[in-house]
Chains A and B, each alone.
Chain A
């Protein structure tokens, strides 16, 4: 229940549409990604004269939601999308589900048919509140214009507090035409929703005691650390205690991978040494991570010797997948601040030395040759940008290599669809990120499969000259599915080979400069050329068709089933000389 505390406004009566726009301004929304239609035509009319809010017309509603996600992830502020009823609303579903899985604060406004028509199968009617109930943190149908401002206030509050997530507000056409006085509530007080911020002292004490005794501790850091802006506290904590740090896919950037204590990513395609460290650890401190199956594999064999501390703002994440010894419910930043004064340096010299040896024995590797390997492109981007770029990957093999071969240094510089694994995320999300951040260049990295899923956003990007470096790593395959078919389905490549357009010509058709590299020698040059162009620029890298992501722990298996890159030097492509193939190694930390 919302209580408004602001005094009655002396202003004139406003329509719902005007109230909507004024409420967004009150929330300091400076950009909305959207697509108009019949049910929101009144709202678009109200937006027309407003200069405080920039509206970006995407070419598909899914693009609008991913753009809002990219904006939110890169900036830490809530992203906003506005679409019409029916198909406009249903097209947002994938983006909303994506934001729900990855805890991204976005508010999606959907048009709805007039109240009296709801349930009548009216033109462009869809029960979007019903459809999105299981994939939103919360959602609302506004039935009375007098509730509109308070509902919008509450929607932003719910989306951005506690464990963030998507909130949907459904706006019937007639409600938006009704008039009332506008008064925006100053604050929100919901008796049914009170997120935990501070960790409980008793739990903190237990954690401090466990940490003091640890010989082989590991910090297992997830996206929650970045969501709560706690990278600084985490880095201090790791340095003070001398505990090595591994991150999840979404934790990349929370701790600098140039730091000696960094282990890179853990899990299915994590580094050998991060998975080893977790497996042999005697204390695992989970910081804003949720023991996802891509991290744990078989849960009862995950970190089998370790006591486990779990810091999470969402109580339902605690002991959901893995039973932990000391749960601490609270905001990661706050809890780390509470812990910091009471922890001391541990004697982890031997442990860090052991990890160093693992790093030397099992670095990340790939075989480089005349023809381009995706890993090589990522490595070059990493070398050229030195962590000072926002990397937006899509889903598949390139996503894992982008996680492995780029060295992340700053928070909010690695954006990807982790939980839902939404192909087509990168291009629109990078657009949202570029509107949010001017300090770092934004680099969108997709495979040819995912790129074709939201290819239409090239028009939006060109229209607004959004300065994105668009990289397509084209192997003509749905590479990750092909890899699984190769390893687990007897190389029966069912429906994974894929035709694509001429991407350079396509870029030109949209008025975007395009480059192509087909040989390894050309890679660096093409990347450097991209950085000489201010506006959007696209480059296609024709990469070797068949290559696999290693190391790999097959789904549901344990650390002991880890598959590293096969030693045989057999991967020569199109008659590359074996002698020209060199092994490249990279180590995080």
Chain B
């Protein structure tokens, strides 16, 4: 889910990935999304799903703001009664993944070129017809951005992106 409240990027605003654990209760996603729109915070993506504990949901939020705004966002998230834990992963080492499905209009001439790009990005073709291929790409947000950029010159018919999921990395050392 993406929100079009565009705050222009500058030196003081940074992208943050925030992980929130909340009680898996009716309306939890609404409370968080509603708080972002009510307070006018930027919301680039928000994903939610169950965790290893069925009573707990994990929400991964990608947002942008200066330090004061990010501090308020974290406080406001904590203030929601159903919130168990809020972690700003940005300053930790963390793993992030996003999935995109990209449907491209093809001709017999360009199909092999598309397949090469797909291979370079270690993406997959999951559907093919005479006039289209659909590519599944998983990776960091940047990687997904990159494959979409490479496929732009072709006729992209539809894109579905999941938004980001992230977890703190436990491995200590260079990655």
A residues near B, CB below 8 A? 1, 129-130, 133-134, 137-138, 141, 143, 158, 190-193, 314-316, 318-320, 323
Contacts and interface: CB of A to CB of B under 8 A. Distances in A.
B72 interface: yes
Q: Nearest 10 pairs between A and B by C-beta?
A: A316-B75, A138-B81, A134-B38, A192-B84, A193-B81, A316-B79, A315-B75, A192-B82, A192-B23, A133-B34
B31 interface: yes
Contacts of B55: 1
A484 to B, nearest CB: 25
Interface in B16-32: 22-23, 26-27, 30-31
Contacts of B30: 130, 133
A129 B34 CA distance: 12
B65 to A, nearest CB: 14
Contact of B83 (A192, A314, A315, A319): A192
A118 to B, nearest CB: 11
A315 B30 CA distance: 22
Interface of A is mostly: loop
Contacts of B51: none
Given A319-B68, A319-B71, A320-B72, A133 B84 contact: no
Given A158-B81, A316-B72, 17 more contacts: A1-B23, A130-B27, A130-B30, A133-B27, A133-B30, A133-B34, A137-B81, A141-B27, A192-B23, A193-B81, A314-B79, A315-B75, A315-B79, A316-B79, A318-B75, A319-B71, A323-B68
B78 interface: yes
Contacts of B35: 134
B76 interface: yes
A134 B31 CA distance: 8
A190 B83 CA distance: 10
Contacts of A190: 81
Nearest to B38: A134
Contact of A316 (B31, B68, B76, B84): B76
Contacts of B68: 319, 323
Interface of B: 22-23, 26-27, 30-31, 34-35, 38, 55, 68, 71-72, 75-76, 78-79, 81-84
Contacts of A130: 27, 30
B27 A129 contact: yes
B84 A191 contact: yes
Contacts of B83: 192
Nearest to A135: B38
A132 to B, nearest CB: 11
Nearest to B24: A1
Contacts of B23: 1, 192
Contacts of B38: 134
Contacts of B84: 191-192
Contacts of A192: 22-23, 81-84
B26 A141 contact: yes
Contacts of B72: 316, 320
Contacts of A323: 68
10 contacts: A129-B27, A134-B34, A134-B38, A141-B27, A191-B84, A192-B23, A192-B83, A315-B78, A316-B78, A323-B68
Contacts of B82: 192
Residue of A314, A315, A323 most packed against chain B (CB within 10 A): A315
Nearest to A136: B81
A66 B68 CA distance: 35
Nearest to A137: B81
A516 B76 CA distance: 50
B26 to A, nearest CB: 7
A190 B76 CA distance: 18
A319 B68 CA distance: 8
B81 to A, nearest CB: 4
Nearest to B23: A192
Nearest to B26: A141
B81 A133 contact: no
Contacts of A193: 81
A316 B82 CA distance: 16
Contacts of B76: 316
A354 to B, nearest CB: 34
A444 to B, nearest CB: 32
Nearest to B82: A192
Nearest to B85: A192
A159 to B, nearest CB: 11
A545 to B, nearest CB: 39
A1 B31 CA distance: 17
